[in-house]
């Protein structure tokens, strides 16, 4: 079976600083891959290279066997790649529903129709409500983003990514800054994503993230140090040395 995502010898430097150094990995369709590493290991840079937000210095990115290395971010999104961000980017003065309607509109051809009235798009509003229900936020549909909790904004951001019907979903620290109860809720939400979507996540909360992962990749100074299943990576002495601190 063709891999959902294949990275071959990715390299990215900023002046004299090498942020990604010869990174290669293969993620199977439906897999849950966890990317870990200390601060500055190059995790978010790696996501930006996968999505096209940063241009590669060398190497290749393949989605379901297609080399997308030269494609723009929007072209990669059209091929089924979606992501969330470490820093939440939402329209704070708009309602949760409206944020989702805009996400849904962005993947339709009618987004180019300047004469279309968004308020008349009942179909988009109904789909937005369904997605809000999927992440447990339907009761807050008419609330503004600014009025809901940080954990609820995280769930909205995930719903907006799911609105794109992604084949590969990148989650950049979805549990960061959440309370214990919120981490449980968001972890359950991620675990419930159907296996038709491949999920790759960056996370520092090892206790929660390990429960979500099939395979783990440890980065250090932009290089892959250890890869494998949970038991292999957690028990590797290099993981304890550079990440777990013992």
Which residue range(s) make up the domain with 51?
1-80+166-246
- Single out the residue in 109, 143, 164 at which a domain terminates: 164
Domain containing residue 19: CATH number:
3.40.50.300
114 and 176 within one domain: no
Give the mean pLDDT of 106-120.
Answer: 57
Predicted confidence (pLDDT) at residue 76 exceeds the cutoff of 90:
yes
196 and 160 within one domain: no
102 and 60 within one domain: no
pLDDT digit string, tens, across residues 41-64: 999 999 999 999 999 999 999 999
- pLDDT at position 167 is 97
- pLDDT at position 112 is 43
Confidence tier at 118 by pLDDT (50, 70, 90):
low
Predicted confidence (pLDDT) at residue 15 exceeds the cutoff of 50:
yes
Residue predicted with more confidence, 86 or 24: 24
90 with 156: CB under 8 angstroms? yes
Residues 79, 43: Cα–Cα separation, whole Å: 22
69 and 5 within one domain: yes
- pLDDT at position 56 is 96
If one counts the domains in the chain, the total is: 2
- pLDDT at position 239 is 85
- Across the strands, what pairs with 202? 35, 172
User: Does residue 86 belong to any structural domain of this protein?
Assistant: no
User: Does residue 85 belong to any structural domain of this protein?
Assistant: no
Give the mean pLDDT of 88-102.
Answer: 90
- Single out the residue in 140, 164, 188 at which a domain terminates: 164
Instruction: For residue 217, give the nearest of 1, 76, 10 by alpha carbon.
Output: 10
Residues 83, 77: Cα–Cα separation, whole Å: 9
- pLDDT at position 188 is 93
- Single out the residue in 164, 194, 219 at which a domain terminates: 164
pLDDT digit string, tens, across residues 183-204: 999 999 999 999 999 999 998 8
69 and 182 within one domain: yes
User: Does residue 88 belong to any structural domain of this protein?
Assistant: no
Confidence tier at 28 by pLDDT (50, 70, 90):
very high
Give the phi and the psi of residue 181 in degrees, each rounded to 5: -65, -40
Residues 167, 5: Cα–Cα separation, whole Å: 10
Predicted confidence (pLDDT) at residue 114 exceeds the cutoff of 60:
no
pLDDT digit string, tens, across residues 201-242: 998 877 778 888 999 999 999 999 999 998 898 888 988 887
């Amino acid at each position: 079976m063709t891999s959902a995502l294949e990275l071959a010898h990715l390299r990215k430097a900023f002046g004299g600083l090498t942020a990604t150094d010869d990174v290669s990995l293969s993620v199977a369709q439906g897999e849950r891959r966890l990317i870990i590493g200390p601060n500055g290991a190059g995790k978010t840079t790696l996501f930006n290279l996968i999505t096209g937000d940063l241009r590669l210095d060398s190497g290749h990115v393949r989605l379901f066997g297609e080399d997308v290395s030269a494609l723009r971010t929007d072209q990669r999104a059209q091929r089924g790649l979606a992501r969330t961000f470490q820093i939440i980017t939402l329209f704070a003065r708009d309602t949760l529903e409206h944020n989702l309607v805009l996400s849904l509109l962005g993947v339709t051809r009618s987004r180019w129709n300047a004469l279309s009235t968004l308020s008349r798009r009942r179909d988009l509003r109904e789909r937005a409500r369904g997605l809000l229900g999927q992440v447990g936020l339907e009761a807050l549909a008419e609330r503004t983003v600014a009025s809901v909790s940080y954990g609820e904004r995280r769930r909205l951001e995930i719903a907006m990514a799911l609105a794109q019907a992604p084949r590969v979903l990148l989650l950049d620290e979805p549990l960061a800054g959440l309370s214990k109860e919120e981490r449980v809720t968001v972890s359950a939400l991620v675990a419930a994503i159907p296996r038709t979507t491949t999920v790759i996540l960056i996370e520092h909360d090892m206790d929660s993230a390990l429960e979500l992962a099939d395979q783990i990749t440890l980065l250090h100074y932009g290089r892959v140090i250890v890869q494998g299943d949970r038991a292999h990576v957690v028990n590797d002495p290099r993981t304890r040395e550079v990440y777990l601190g013992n």
